[in-house]
Amino acid sequence: MILANIEDYRTLARKRLPHFLFEYIDGGAFSETTLRNNSADLQTIALRQRVLRDVSSVSTATTLFGKEYAMPLGLSPIGIAGLNARRGEVQAAQAAEEAGVPFCLSTVSACAIDEVRAAVNNPIWFQLYMIKDRGFLREILARAKAAGTDTLLFTVDMPVPATRYRDMRSGLSSGTILQRKITRARQVLMRPQWAWDVGLFGRPHTLGNIAPVLGDNAGIDEFWSWLAQNFDPTVTWADIDRIRAEWDGKFIIKGILDSEDAKQAASIGADGIIVSNHGGRQLDGALSSIRALPDIADAVGNDLGIILDSGVRSGLDVVRALALGANFVMIGRPWVYALAARQKKGVREILDIFKNEMRVAMALSGNTSVNTIKRDSLVNL
């Protein structure tokens, strides 16, 4: 199979993963309206074609929070992504480092931050939720600092986990534990390559960062229970302000869709925000991230670094986001599809695809630098 774009990697990931894992990656909340709109709304944005402008030298390089990157693209945190290939988060972090882009590890990753950090040369980003047990939360922060992490993504759009029908149907989150285990075992048997590479030789199948509270034998079922019991619905801006005061590195708030919330993030001293609806996995019916972006950029564009997440599937989408006010873009599903399809090599390949698509879109819209991509690079329809 020739893999040309992200949809091709998605197709191959579906063939290689047990059904419950693919549905977890691919699905969204409720009827998945916001999930679909995230990508569909990006496709409605027309780039302005320009000609005869000497685009013989196009650079995708950029700077974010004082660091240089090969392109304005990073890998978003994805829960249990490490189960999609053997020690998957390690492979993805290595691919990102080789490509010159940032990788962010999830709180609920399969591989612990210490393991991932030991596999790369430079510190990685880390994502954190507000956990009810504040003592454990501070312990995780301390582990991130000890691993050299200087950029913390704090996710704020998950005070309660949403209902995801695909996860219920696939055997991931509904039924008794015994029913779920039997359903998943049958699905694993239908994917012998995954069963051999990940199921047998990819152990331990634990949630590395929260193993201290769940135990070393905790797996997917414990993960789902932990999600339901430990996210804190009482969290307010005052709690975020206190976390900011304890973290001396870069602090990015993930899950902003409203300009007033963006202003509040600036007021507590955040370095950046991620305009995101959790990939359509939380509030179904919410605005797509790209539709929310322009108002937010207009409100706080000079005060915060603005990152867009959710629905990005090509380098053209990256250019669209930059033109509408983002400084940087992060991708989630694309890199996990690629990891499942072709492991570390797949992640490197899709990063190359994004970079090449960016270069073509920039050249044909008359931009030789990321810094020149503004709203006049779009057609005002």
Q: Give the C-alpha separation, 338 to 92, whole Å.
A: 9
Show the domain range for 19.
6-377
Tokens linked to 76: 């978003």
Contacts of 206 (CB under 8 A, 6+ apart): 110, 214, 216, 217, 218, 219
Q: What is the pLDDT of residues 9-30, one digit of tens each?
A: 999 999 999 999 999 999 999 9
- Map residue 201 onto helix, strand or coil: coil
Q: What is the pLDDT of residues 250-275, one digit of tens each?
A: 999 999 999 999 999 999 999 999 99
Annotated catalytic residue, options 254, 278, 313, 342: 278
Q: Give the C-alpha separation, 10 to 84, whole Å.
A: 12
Is residue 161 exposed (0-12), middle (13-18) or buried (19+ Cβ within 10 Å)?
middle
Query: Is 1 within a domain?
Result: no
Asked whether residue 219 carries a pLDDT value surpassing 70, the answer given is no
Asked whether residue 97 carries a pLDDT value surpassing 90, the answer given is yes
pLDDT of residue 223: 66
| CATH number of 123's domain | 3.20.20.70
Q: What is the mean pLDDT of the chain?
A: 93
- Map residue 295 onto helix, strand or coil: helix
Query: Is 136 within a domain?
Result: yes
Is residue 229 exposed (0-12), middle (13-18) or buried (19+ Cβ within 10 Å)?
exposed
pLDDT of residue 218: 60
Q: How many domains does the chain have?
A: 1
Measured from the Cβ of residue 233, the count of other Cβ atoms closer than 10 Å reads: 9
Asked whether residue 148 carries a pLDDT value surpassing 90, the answer given is yes
Asked whether residue 232 carries a pLDDT value surpassing 90, the answer given is no
- Picking from 60, 45, 17, the residue whose alpha carbon sits closest to that of residue 367 is 60
pLDDT of residue 76: 98
Asked whether residue 154 carries a pLDDT value surpassing 80, the answer given is yes
User: Catalytic residue at 278?
Assistant: yes
Give residue 72's pLDDT band: very low, low, confident or very high (50, 70, 90). very high
pLDDT of residue 173: 83
Q: What is the pLDDT of residues 171-214, one digit of tens each?
A: 888 888 889 889 999 999 999 999 999 999 988 888 888 877 76
